[in-house]
Structure 1
Amino acid sequence: MQTYRSALRAGTSLSAAILAIAAVPAMAQTQSPSDAQTSAPAADQAPGQEIVVTGSLFGGSKITPSPVTTITSETLDQRGISTIQDAVQQLSSNNGPALTNSFSANGAFAGGASAVSLRGMTTNSTLVLFDGMRAAYYPLADDGSRNFVDLNTIPDDIVDRIEVLRDGASSSYGADAIAGVVNIITKKQFKGLSGRVEAGVAEGGFGASQRLSLTAGTGDLDEKGYNAYISGFYYHSALVRNSDLKAPFNSDDKTRIGGPDDTINPGTFGVTSAGSNLYVAPGSGGRYQLLANNCLNGNAVASTAAQLADNDLLPSSVCRVDSTNRYGVVAPEIERFGASARFTANLNDTTQAFLALNFQQSTSSYTGSPSTIYAHAPTGVFYPQYSTRSDATRFAAGSQPLTLPVYVCAARVNCATAADGRLNPNNPFAATGDTALLVGALPNSVTSDLTRNRVYRAALGVTGQVFGWDYTFDATAMHSDLKHRQDGYVYIQHLLDVIADGSYNFIDPSANSAATMNYLMPQNITNASSDLYQAQLSFKKAVMDLPGGPLNVGFGGSVFYEAVDAPSANSDFNGPTERYFTINAFGTEGHRTVASAFGEVNAPILPILDLNLSGRYDHYSTGQSYFSPKVGAKLTPIRQLTVRGTWSRGFRIPSFAEANALPTTGYVNNSVSNFNDAYLAQYGCTTATFSACPTYIRSGSYGATTLATPDLKPEKSRSWTAGIYFEPIRNISFTVDYFNIKKTGAITTLPSGPAISAYYSGQAIPAGYEVIADSPDPAFPNAKPRIAFIRSSFVNANTIKSEGIDFGMNVRKQFGEVSWTSNLDATLQLELSTTLPDGTRQTYVDTLGNYNLTAGSGTFQWHGNWQNTIAYKQYTVSGTVNYTSGYDLSAMDQDNAYSDCGLKPDWFGGCRVKSYITFDLNAAVNVNDRLTVYGTVLNLFDRLPGVDPVTYGAYLYNPVQAGNGVYGRMFRAGAKFSF
């Protein structure tokens, strides 16, 4: 790996040159107050007022020691980007474990939300601000452990700009700003009436979206001393299914790309992989068979002699179902609407105050797979009743599979002697006095999930002067109220009830009444909330003159309260059967108050040298304290060149989910590396002949259950940046910035390897772990069962390092009546790695790692975009190239060597997923001063992403790499009006 990194660094300059010439990677962002020339004041800035940049108490300079990227609302319009979450997800600095809306349709813990991951350091290491103030967390945590701010809660149509601080900022904002800050800034004032109407659809006729907005304002801060505006919007995007997409992303049949036809492969049939039909086997032993003697879903296919010999549970006929095509969902249906109001007034010549109110409701909904009636995970429930096997050793006590009894009755017990007892009509073996083992899923019902999040926010602030000092007071209150509704999930005890009394017709599920279906699958509603209250006061003043200019001093204090109340959607409080199948039991509750003091000094020591010093002390009511210092400098030896750099320390406080959560279970696929020959000998196979092991061993997964750990310490970070800003001539600039972030004491779970090795070797389980065994394989009842769950706690253990280079170019040129604007932004990720406590180092760049953390979406070496805009009279045309590099099908956190193709399936033809490049085109015409019409073609050349057979965030493609590109060519058209 060291050789790889050395060679990569050696080629950086050449890569940058090729990048700029070939225009393959890209930059999207328009000029920044810190990093690019501006020809006019920002939209919310009065002429002559200084521009305060995110991460500092001061402003006024277009180039700051810290690298900052700014995306304006004008840039978003030119690129045809409709939402803030889409804009942030396309940042070149966004990498690795970002959370997209599409992933929310695949069973994500934090369904319905979207989050950014700057530098690939996860969603909880990027701080998202709303007008420079903290925002309430999304009530549900990413992967059940990481709290974050949902980008969908920001009202799109009043956003003026997005500032992205691309280095550590704990010295200004405290916790969570390790990888950077995304500050979403709304309009300060608005006059007149304006609105927008927009609609879009994919070329295939799916993925329709609609957007409406209206804003009205009155008053002028400069002329009348006040401004007030109110704004409302509506946004809707339709659910997108896998069946809408082009091949191969729309089917389990992968034969056209060299893979297997997985529309239920008979050879992989097992008690946990029976598909969306119902199968039964004699309780006394034997093969499974279709319960209804026909396929209620799919088509019957005969098992081959070889398959039957390989699997003694396999039915002679199974149902071939294309589950991806029939049930798969790519993106949820999203509906958002809201209203905002703001009033700003000049109280006197030096004092200004504002009050802002925001309300937004976001709803995300999708359908899932057929309702499961047999699954050990995540419930961990075994079925102790109904077994009449004569061989008492066939199942250990309390670990029988789900079983249909011989007799049923209203009392549900002692039915063989009950007055109303009768042979079980659902059990085909009842007449011979045998029970029936039952597996599969309900063929006439599917699960569905809906999250509805209402966000209420109020903010007020005052700026002015007192005793010669400029002061700023800001306060905010934000409440998030989330309702999670789940339908179609089977309630375990109710399933046992309808089995025992025979009230549910398993032979013909469509014959069941609505009342019976509702009893078996009662609607599950969970209400969660989060809160954020903050007040902050700061002062600043130029206290003296230095050779380079005034010495500015600033200081202040802040206090904020944050809380999350997210009860479990599937608690076992009332017992192991009083809950649902497959709904994760995650839940958390916590609150804390944080008091902070901060200060900053900006010293222009020489006309060519500026120094900036800042620091912040935070104390948490939960007992943690931390001081975060930062040093920044910029040197301008000549007017055209600025050299800049920063050094800082930061921290991340343990999340509520890490410190207070209920047990959280994720699932890891079994592999040959989990087992040893001594264990496999019980099943008549070895590691060398693993493909000959029974399905029970080869297939399935184990649950990695994480327990909350209240005594966790904060994660600590050290980061530094170094870069140049080069402007050879006016309105043409280039930037290159190196970043290096090291996080120590990173919170993680214990690796499962030691517990797995000990269990399968018959040794004592190491301290800190609990291993729960699965139910026995019916074909090998006396063999030691495989692992069902491994339980362990969070620990402060790892060291994480992120290193790379950002490249930028900004051009603004006028040629008579034609203007040309070009903005390039690209990030080269040199390193993203984790060092474990034993010194083992896992590196992830250009691979699928960190596989567990990123949902198999990997770490991209290159990510960027390049926008070019031509304007002539009333016509404007913009083209944007979007680029994300490919990666190797390996991940060191999955026991692979670096870039060894270790995760590649046997059938896949290569070791890499190819890079992905798309081109977007937008055209607008100003019909007159009051009306502009525009049209956008996203993915103009209809490029589909490369096939990824390993990622689990989406089916056969990487959702972070591809975004909405997997839809193919998309069209949007709209009009903006103003009066």
Structure 2
Amino acid sequence: MQKSHITRCIQLAIISNLIGFSSAGLAEEGVEKKTERITVTGSNIRSSNIDIESASPVQVMGIEAIEMAGAGQVQDLFKNLSVNSGSEMSTSQNSRQGLSQFSLRGLGVSGTLTLVNGRRAGLSPVASDDGFFFTDINQYPVNMIERVEVLTDGASATYGSEAVGGVVNIITRSNFEGFEIGAEARDSSNSAYQLNAAIGSAFEEGKFSTFINYYQQDGNFRGDFDFIQQRSNNGGNGLSTDSQFDSGTGAGRYQLAELGADGNYSRSGATVPDPHCADSGPVNFVAGSNCRYNFINQRRLIAEESRLQVFTQFDYALSDDVELYSELSYSSNEIRDAIGGAVLRTTTHDGGFLVPEAHPFNYFVSDGSGGIAWDEAAVAADPSQAVDVIVRQRPLTSAFDGDNAADIVRQFDNTRTLVGLDIALTDDLYLDMSYMYARSKMTDRQPRSYNADAYAGAIASGQWNPFGFANANPSAVSVKDGVSVSGNSDAALASFSSNRTFVTESVQKVAEATVSGDVFELSNGNFVSMAFGAQWREFTYSDIADSLSEFRLDGRADPVFSIIDAKQDVYAVYTEALIPASDDLEIQLALRYEDYGKDEGGDTTDPKVGVKYQATDNVLLRGSWGTSFQAPSIRNTSGAVGSGALDDLANGIKAGDPCKADADALNAAQITLGRDLKPQSSTNYNLGLVYEGDNGFTTSLDYFVYQYEDLIQTGDDFQTIVDGECLSGTFKPDSRVVRDAAGQLNSVTSSFVNVGEVKATGLDWTGQYRIDDVFDGELRLNGNATYITKFDIALDNSGTAFDGAGNRNRFIGFGAIPELRANVGMSWISENHMAGLSLRYISDYRDDTPDELGEDIDSQTLVDAQYTIVLDDVMNTTTSFTLGVNNLFDKEPPAVDTRIAYDGQTHDPRGRIAYLRAKVTF
């Protein structure tokens, strides 16, 4: 069949026009191209009427642009797309760590639909903060990608739910032939390398290709970054008493234990810090009556990762009119965060743990005035002088942070299978039928999960030494019994510390059938093309909590939501029409009906109208209007539980007391309750102009409007709830905040709600220019920019809106929206050489952290550079070597007043990234 070869030629012609490739050598296919039927992003129609430019704007990153971006993972493409803002990044310290997804217009990862070759790519086994599921793009190998097409317009009328903000369509190298191997090494704050291979072949009845990639990177602890040390007031040594990483509950503080009439002990007298504080851990220090330590290296900011990714595709002509196609992908991604000296909470003994006087290493005695004093000599002379004490502490101190931390291991296993038939019903009409099955599973193994009762028992029995010299002098022998050894063993730790395992799994199934083609001829000689189709989608999700959490055997008070085999079914029918009203005017119509079921969001009918007008030989005008719809997710209706650090001005104080001047940073359970919700919907407009001049100059300018209603978000941000308890300067408890007996945060509860509306408007610009005969080569200039003119957020139905444009939006459920993002670059290409230089700009935006409200987060301009040399006919191969640097001048991310001191959704902490790449094609 010639169809696939000709389609490939048309695709190459489209790419060459958009990114500057020469189209020489394709002219001989010109006659056949006019009659070949193709499908492009933004339409289900296959027709000869499809043109390079459509009524809806599509931005394309071709294989050259991808290589020039120095992309080691698919997420590295974010920085070259100005329309992308607020994406999930792999530096997040939560269950999404290692996952990434596009977020067009800053409207959330769930509002961007990701396709592979025009079909759904499956959904992750974890949800975003707003409770929606998304596609993890890091499961796919970069070497499989031929180009990425980004539809920057709402497309629910064409593709259904999740396409509310736009569509990213990953087009694969389906016509690759030969054998290719490659390797790459990267060096920045961490190091990374990858190995990849590709094999492809075409034969009389069809073709196949397979792409394999193995990627591995080292991790970084927070203390590896000088800018975090400095901005958090660590001073580089971790011993500052006002660092944002100083522990509220540290290595140990002790008080006399008094037995009450109810059989419980309470704290009495003055508090005493651990007598071996400074020697018990590398960054332990005495602060007042507490032995605290700096936990900057308790967690990794950048996780260790290893990924094995495989993608294969196969096309086979069963007859002249029937073609079988299939895709199979598999990835195994292991993400390793770390956990050091975690907090252990308890509600017993006045918020602490009893250390009996008989403990072999309890050398506290009465100080004669109602307090306690450490006196080893007195206890050695008379062990009966020891007294009962209560300790509040983290069982493991800073000695167990950094390189001694335990690994949190999240294993993501993803499979996706697609099979379909492409049938030519007539010369002008085609039937496409496909079935997609995608399964994603996360196994989350969390170490150092403490059982409070078991810890109390280990201390009471003398099995665990809760005093600092367990680390300061682990070989010391007890002066009481002359036998017990000071250091704590792994067996003693295992008596109260265990690994918790959580398993989540998502399965998406999609069956679809579409009939499309040219249906009748107009009086002007042009053909009306149409598509008719039906789709069924099923999404199942299971969340299996660890048994310790399920039955709360670990002493925690946070509830657990277990969702097992929850399911959501969607049925859809749709139609499209492409009407060339004249040689210069084209109208595109689309209508889609989707039914989620009465209890899962109801049904919706979404139209879209697009118009394209060729005003002159060089000027094209385009515009579109449409509506979109997204039903509440399984998580939205069932609830979610997570955890994270919160700043608390009321830590350890009582109701009515003045709040603290400086907040303590504490980890707490973050619970979001599910409830009945309305679907979120949107209306979007786009007006654009495309100018295509001579000498390879093309530019476009589009004005867009998105108006979302009934957006589903977390009602009140967890930090906002905690801050609210101290708004007046006096601690007023909020029922949504649960604290333990010592006044420490235990959990904070919010809920998913429909939060009013968002209206976003702005401008997109793209441009390309090619200049021949520059130093015996070709100079290519390109750029893209997005300017957000308005991002009004109304959190309720009062009509009061908050201007989110140019704002971080940290506490209102949206990501940062810098007003301007721009990328400009130039590349010079000769016979065997290619050099490139590009600038990436992000404008400043306002910080909405309470202490820094209204302060600017600085703008940033980064420079990337790359050089490639191609060696032909080396042992019958073509070999290329690439040396590149991203962030050439090693600029730090702009400062933000948070614990990690930068905005991880907008800026990269890794600094200068140098890479060396080699590729051999046989």
Q: TM (normalized to structure 2)?
A: 0.83
* Contact residue 643 and residue 668 of structure 2 kept, 8 A: no
Q: What SS does the corresponding residue of 1:962 show, helix, strand or coil?
A: coil
Residue 737 (structure 1) aligned with residue 702 (structure 2): yes
The 1-side partners of 2:14 and 2:835 are apart by 18
Residue 812 (structure 1) aligned with residue 770 (structure 2): yes
Distance 1:498 1:702, change over 3 A: closer
**What's the offset of the Cα at 1:329?**
2.6
Among 875, 896, 899, the residue aligned to 1:949: 896
Q: What SS does the corresponding residue of 1:943 show, helix, strand or coil?
A: coil
Among 398, 417, 440, the residue aligned to 1:458: 417
Other-structure match for 1:918: 862
Residue 660 (structure 1) aligned with residue 638 (structure 2): yes
Other-structure match for 2:295: 323
Q: What SS does the corresponding residue of 2:498 show, helix, strand or coil?
A: coil
The 2-side partners of 1:471 and 1:571 are apart by 52
* Contact residue 879 and residue 920 of structure 1 kept, 8 A: yes
The 2-side partners of 1:253 and 1:665 are apart by 22
Residue 347 (structure 1) aligned with residue 318 (structure 2): yes
The 5 A counterparts of 1:48-63 are: 48=33, 49-58=36-45, 60-63=50-53
Aligned residue identity for 1:630: K
Q: What SS does the corresponding residue of 1:960 show, helix, strand or coil?
A: coil
Other-structure match for 2:482: none
Among 180, 185, 208, the residue aligned to 2:171: 185
Other-structure match for 1:10: none
Aligned residue identity for 1:506: P
The 1-side partners of 2:729 and 2:821 are apart by 47
Deviations 1:430-476 (A, max 9, x none): 95644313123512433431111111121112212225521111221
* Contact residue 239 and residue 283 of structure 2 kept, 8 A: no
**What's the offset of the Cα at 1:889?**
2.3
**What's the offset of the Cα at 1:770?**
4.6
Deviations 1:868-924 (A, max 9, x none): 111111111111211111222236xx6xxxxxx8437xxxxxx32221111111111
Distance 1:152 1:757, change over 3 A: closer
Other-structure match for 1:540: 516
Other-structure match for 1:108: 94
Distance 1:627 1:300, change over 3 A: closer
The 5 A counterparts of 1:281-680 are: 281-282=255-256, 283-290=267-274, 292=276, 294-298=278-282, 314-315=288-289, 318=291, 321-324=293-296, 326-327=297-298, 329-374=300-345, 382-384=346-348, 387=349, 400-406=350-356, 431=385, 433-443=387-397, 444-445=399-400, 446-467=405-426, 469-507=429-467, 508=470, 511-546=487-522, 547=524, 549-569=526-546, 572-575=549-552, 577-578=553-554, 585=560, 588-589=563-564, 590-621=566-597, 622-623=599-600, 624-664=602-642, 668-670=646-648
Q: TM (normalized to structure 1)?
A: 0.79
The 2-side partners of 1:124 and 1:184 are apart by 17
Aligned residue identity for 2:672: T
* Contact residue 510 and residue 536 of structure 2 kept, 8 A: yes
**What's the offset of the Cα at 1:604?**
1.1
**What's the offset of the Cα at 1:342?**
2.2
**What's the offset of the Cα at 1:123?**
1.3
Distance 1:32 1:723, change over 3 A: farther
Other-structure match for 2:221: 241
Residue 801 (structure 1) aligned with residue 767 (structure 2): no
Distance 1:451 1:773, change over 3 A: closer
- How big is the alpha-carbon RMSD for the aligned residues of Structure 1 and Structure 2? 3.8
The 1-side partners of 2:915 and 2:852 are apart by 41
The 2-side partners of 1:799 and 1:570 are apart by 40
**What's the offset of the Cα at 1:725?**
0.5
Among 840, 848, 861, the residue aligned to 1:890: 848
Other-structure match for 2:263: none
Residue 218 (structure 1) aligned with residue 201 (structure 2): yes
* Contact residue 79 and residue 840 of structure 2 kept, 8 A: no
The 1-side partners of 2:205 and 2:408 are apart by 49
Among 175, 196, 218, the residue aligned to 2:182: 196
Among 912, 919, 922, the residue aligned to 1:976: 919
Q: What SS does the corresponding residue of 1:248 show, helix, strand or coil?
A: helix
Aligned residue identity for 2:60: T
Other-structure match for 1:931: 878
* Contact residue 193 and residue 216 of structure 1 kept, 8 A: yes
Other-structure match for 1:13: none
Q: What SS does the corresponding residue of 2:888 show, helix, strand or coil?
A: coil
Other-structure match for 1:279: 253
**What's the offset of the Cα at 1:33?**
8.5
Q: What SS does the corresponding residue of 2:450 show, helix, strand or coil?
A: coil
Deviations 1:710-735 (A, max 9, x none): x2221111111111101122521111
Distance 1:592 1:918, change over 3 A: same
* Contact residue 36 and residue 62 of structure 1 kept, 8 A: no
**What's the offset of the Cα at 1:648?**
0.8
* Contact residue 821 and residue 869 of structure 1 kept, 8 A: yes
* Contact residue 848 and residue 859 of structure 1 kept, 8 A: yes
Other-structure match for 2:853: 903
Q: What SS does the corresponding residue of 2:466 show, helix, strand or coil?
A: coil
**What's the offset of the Cα at 1:486?**
1.7
* Contact residue 644 and residue 667 of structure 2 kept, 8 A: no
**What's the offset of the Cα at 1:114?**
1.2
**What's the offset of the Cα at 1:682?**
3.8
Among 129, 132, 135, the residue aligned to 1:146: 132
Aligned residue identity for 1:54: T
The 2-side partners of 1:790 and 1:42 are apart by 64
Deviations 1:728-766 (A, max 9, x none): 225211111111111111113333789987999999x99
Q: What SS does the corresponding residue of 1:606 show, helix, strand or coil?
A: coil
* Contact residue 706 and residue 794 of structure 1 kept, 8 A: yes
The 1-side partners of 2:53 and 2:757 are apart by 32
Other-structure match for 2:211: 231
The 2-side partners of 1:42 and 1:940 are apart by 37
Gaps of 5+ in 1: 1-28, 304-313, 375-381, 388-399, 411-423, 778-784, 895-900, 905-910
Aligned length: 842
The 1-side partners of 2:180 and 2:217 are apart by 23
Aligned residue identity for 2:295: S
Aligned-pair identity (%): 20
* Contact residue 56 and residue 610 of structure 2 kept, 8 A: yes
Aligned residue identity for 1:842: F
Other-structure match for 2:61: 71
Distance 1:293 1:761, change over 3 A: closer
Residue 254 (structure 1) aligned with residue 254 (structure 2): no
* Contact residue 716 and residue 751 of structure 2 kept, 8 A: no
**What's the offset of the Cα at 1:578?**
3.1
The 2-side partners of 1:793 and 1:328 are apart by 28
Q: What SS does the corresponding residue of 1:62 show, helix, strand or coil?
A: coil
Deviations 1:470-508 (A, max 9, x none): 111122111112221222332334323323433212221
* Contact residue 341 and residue 394 of structure 2 kept, 8 A: no
Gaps of 5+ in 2: 1-11, 257-266, 361-373, 475-486
* Contact residue 278 and residue 286 of structure 2 kept, 8 A: no
The 1-side partners of 2:726 and 2:847 are apart by 29
**What's the offset of the Cα at 1:327?**
4.0
